[in-house]
Amino acid sequence: MGKPAQFMCRLRASTMAEFTGGDNYQAEFDPKAYLGYFKFGEDTLGEEYLNFALKHYCKTFPSGGVKGDTLIDIGSGPTVHQLLSACESFKEITASDYTDQNHQELEKWLKNEPEAFDWTPVVKYVCELEGNRGMEAEKEAKLRKTIKQVLKCDVHKSNPLDPIVLPPADGLVSSLCLEAACKDLTTYRIALKNISSLLKPGGHLVLSGVLGCSFYMVGPKRFSCLVLREEFLREVLSETGFIIQEFEVLVRDDNIDDSSDFSGKFFILALKEEAI
Ligand code: SAH
64 within ligand 1 shell (Cβ under 6 A): no
Spatial CB neighbours of 185, under 8 Å, sequence gap ≥ 6: 226, 232, 236
- Residue by residue, DSSP assigns 109-159 as HHTT-TTS---HHHHHHHHHHTT-TT-HHHHHHHHHHHEEEEEE--TTSSS
Helix, strand, or coil (residue 266): strand
82 within ligand 1 shell (Cβ under 6 A): yes
Give the mutation target among 23, 25, 29, 208 for probing the ligand 1 site: most ligand atoms within 8 A of CB.
Answer: 25
Please say if the pLDDT value at position 6 is more than 70: no
Max mean pLDDT among 6-10, 40-44, 147-151, 258-262 falls in: 147-151
Residue 95, beta-bridge partner list: 150
Between CA 8 and CA 6 the distance in angstroms is 5
pLDDT tens-place string over residues 221-242: 999 999 999 999 999 999 999 9
pTM: 0.94
pLDDT tens-place string over residues 123-156: 999 999 999 999 999 999 999 999 999 999 999 9
Which residue's CA is minimally distant from atom 19 of ligand 1? 181
Measure 178 CA to ligand 1 centroid, in angstroms.
7
Please say if the pLDDT value at position 276 is more than 90: no
Residue type, 219: G
Which residue's CA is minimally distant from atom 3 of ligand 1? 77
Confidence tier at 16 by pLDDT (50, 70, 90): low
pLDDT tens-place string over residues 157-180: 999 999 999 999 999 999 999 999
DSSP state of 276: -
DSSP state of 89: T
Report the share of the chain in percent with pLDDT over 90: 86
Q: Which atom of ligand 1 is nearest to the CA of 38?
A: 8
205 within ligand 1 shell (Cβ under 6 A): no
Spatial CB neighbours of 172, under 8 Å, sequence gap ≥ 6: 71, 72, 73, 74, 195, 196, 198, 199, 203, 204, 205, 206
Give phi and psi for 129, each to the nearest 5.
Answer: -60, -40
The whole-number average pLDDT for the span 179-197 is 98
Identify whether 31 is preceded by a cis peptide bond (ω within 30 of 0). no
Spatial CB neighbours of 31, under 8 Å, sequence gap ≥ 6: 77, 78, 101, 102, 104, 105
Which residue's CA is minimally distant from atom 20 of ligand 1? 181
Which residue's CA is minimally distant from atom 7 of ligand 1? 175
Measure 207 CA to ligand 1 centroid, in angstroms.
13
Residue type, 58: C
